[in-house]
Structure 1
């Protein structure tokens, strides 16, 4: 009788691990699609409820601030819950809330349904990156994170443009119904393929002091909120900017959003290929790329071709930024990863909400053409802070890790 070889056993094990990572990537796809779909449907929603785009844009701000406020409390409540069970519960809330969005007959009902999605989002992004790292084959953690980001980028490439197209031709409510149905299918597949994974978090009493005493971790949080605030000053209103400032048609605006997503995939490929060698430079090049893109958004507003070039650089930069700092959070807090990621998600969404709010103020007071300039100012502060304070802390941590590895060997 022929016995299965050890190589075949390892291969089958790796295949199952990668399948689970890919399922998580599909989950990130649908979560990111529903998070950012209001950006692509802003004009349609505003018209339906007889509001301005700026008025409807408050939906983005409230959603982001809800995630920011809820991420840590919800993760503390569920910190010791088995991850597969928790993910199933999160998806159930997500599906039901998007179904309510479909049924919304007032802006307030839509806002309430979005708060339900925000609760699911708050927990999902706290557990998804650590889950991908845990279930990935040994030594492939960066690749697993990159696959998650491919899911996020596909939300921009496929989810956002397709959702926008559905909204334009069938109505924005059908977009939310489509998201609910797709999420339900993904939930069924995930519950079948994802292994049970007990929580690795310490108790909340031990986690919180440890995290807030970590100087490098806290500096990354501050850099993140500054960068993301600047990014979303511009990105939250990119659809009306392209339509009314650059004067692109609806179809070409959709194409621009498509290109932004495609370049996000390019960013994730660059990260998976070079991050292990250049992790710190990648982290700060990405901030610089976002900064330059926001400045050029204003300077190239006279040129369609120039604007498309800016969007391409911007898409690569924000993709690498997200991956670099998620990876850094996991390395800086190995024993409290879910809690640290919950705080990161909260901080990130403070940036989204603040950026959307400030971008709305700028567009209504100074005009849509200036949304990039205020975003540039925030990211420029983040870039200088990162180079002068955050980078030395991270380099010091890497040297310490290398010293511990040599000592262990």
Structure 2
């Protein structure tokens, strides 16, 4: 009980608390994307096709989409430290179920539990980090969270893939659960009590949905994330079966994609103010090019690693640019705006995974990149039709 009784005595602003939240972001992003490297192993253990096991990505992502807004509103007035602890308990118990999943259906139930925790976690973590940072250091606090989430794809996913390939995918989920328990104890030891300060109400939702800039951002987000995950969800079997690459090369590719996320974050931080439009349109064009060249360059490791670097940079910049625009356009209801962003992002993940699975079954694994590129083309066309006019349009002060 000492951990709880001392919570009120901890400093209101603490870099240690912000770092702890970034570690929490690392474990949440790791478990979201680690199945990308384990789909063949999961498919083999349940005697299923890889295209069918991709449902664990689709179900997870769409559950987050459905849960994000209602769960965020249901917990809007909860004290944040206690709420975060409850989310971690759900997260840990769900990983225990995943580690002992006796059927694919049981694994799906476990992923639903993790998705429930995920839906609220991302809606509250960024505002918590901003509040905990010392005065004048809010942007740096946000960069800590972004770094933690990026490191998940740099270290978490490749290491989880290596572990799963070596001793079984269930072990990967079990280890994530144990690490989450350690992180929970860390959070309880460093976080002060954080009363809720609701920055938005459900009553503002109709107003948000009437803002053309916001709708454009969400539509573009769904298209580019859908394009990305149509191919990325199945990157492990693609590289093995189509590219003929070994397990070490596949892990190296996953590592480069993740490392590229950190590079993308640096580029965004340094150029977002000077080149807001270029930072949207150029990564979309790079994403399109990467998807079109995926089949060809996967046949050569050097070419594939080069493509992985460009691909990771592009998708990271796109996500950050679009999220930044949401914070700008929905500044009067940032919690709801971010919850909707998370929901749409995961709609794109689930949609991309589902499309990719259908492509594999009906057109073949080599076609996932080409079909994903169609969504990237639609995103570029949407910019030409609407985005060009809306992107730099001054944000109208919301009516209260």
Whether TM-score is above 0.5 comes out as: yes
**Per-residue deviation, 1:153:** 1.9
Instruction: State whether structure 2 residue 312 is matched by structure 1 residue 315.
Output: yes
Residues 204, 177 of structure 1: alpha-carbon distance in 2 compared, 3 angstrom cutoff: same
Aligned residue among 116, 119, 123 for 1:119: 116
CA deviations over 1:184-205 (Å, ceiling 9, x no partner): 1112222332343333335644
Distance 1:17 1:141 in 2: 12
Task: Name the counterpart of 1:154.
Answer: 151
SS state at 2:294 partner = helix
**Equivalent residue for 1:72, pick from 58, 69, 72:** 69
Report the counterpart of residue 297 of structure 1 in structure 2: 294
RMSD: 2.2
The corresponding residue for 1:3 is none
Task: Give yes or no for contact 1:145–1:323 (8 Å, CA) kept in 2.
Answer: no
CA distance in 2, matches of 1:303, 1:375: 21
Distance (Å, rounded) in 1 between the aligned partners of 2:313 and 2:44: 32
* Contact 2:98–2:110 under 8 Å retained in 1: yes
Shift of 1:155: 1.1
For the pair 1:52 / 2:49, whether they are aligned, the reply is yes
- Relative to structure 1, is the Cα distance of residues 126 and 386 closer, same or farther in structure 2, using a 3 angstrom cutoff? farther
- 1:231 alignment counterpart: 228
The CA deviation at 1:277 is: 3.1
1:377 to 374, 379, 390: 374
Cα 1:84–1:387 shift into 2, 3 Å: farther
Distance 1:301 1:203, change over 3 A: closer
> 5+ residue gaps in structure 1?
1-12, 405-409
Higher deviation after alignment, 332-341 or 218-227:
332-341
Cα deviation, residue 265, structure 1: 1.0
Q: Aligned partners of 2:45, 2:374: CA distance in 1, in Å?
A: 34
Which residue pairs with 1:192 in the alignment?
189
Counterpart Cα distance in 2 of 1:331 and 1:118? 27
Distance 1:247 1:270, change over 3 A: same
Contact 1:202–1:335 (8 Å) recurs in 2: yes
Higher helix share: 1
Match of 2:34 among 34, 37, 40: 37
Q: 2: distance between equivalents of 1:99 and 1:331?
A: 39
**Within 2, Cα distance between the matches of 1:334 and 1:378?**
29
Alignment of 1:271 onto 2:254: no
For residue 336 of structure 1, report the CA deviation from its aligned partner: 1.5
Q: Distance in 2 between matches of 1:102 and 1:27?
A: 20
TM-score by length of 1: 0.89
User: TM-score if structure 2 supplies the norm length?
Assistant: 0.91
Task: Quote the Cα distance in structure 1 between the aligned partners of 2:130 and 2:200.
Answer: 21
Corresponding residue number in structure 2 for 1:175: 172
- 1:142/1:272 contact within 8 Å kept: no
2:214 is the counterpart of 1:214: no
**CA distance in 2: counterparts of 1:96 and 1:139, whole angstroms:** 38
Q: Does 1:355 align with 2:352?
A: yes
* Count of residues in Structure 1 that have an aligned counterpart in Structure 2: 389
Taking a change above 3 Å as real, the CA distance of residues 286 and 195 of structure 1, as seen in their structure-2 partners, is farther
Counterparts of residues 282-293 of structure 1 (less than 5 Å) = 282-293=279-290
Question: Does 1:93 find its partner at 2:90?
Answer: yes
Give the distance between the partners of 1:140 and 1:271, measured in 2 at CA: 18
Asked if residue 107 in structure 1 is aligned to residue 104 in structure 2, the reply is yes
Query: CA 1:141–1:379 in structure 2 vs 1: closer, same or farther (change >3 Å)?
Result: farther
Are the equivalent residues in 2 in contact too, given 1:24–1:128 (CA < 8 A)? yes
**Corresponding position: 1:62 with 2:66:** no
Quick check: 102-111 or 149-158, which moved more? Answer: 149-158
Q: In 2 relative to 1, CA 200–64 (structure 1 residues): closer, same or farther, beyond 3 Å? A: same
- Alpha-carbon contact 2:30-2:156 (below 8 Å) kept: yes
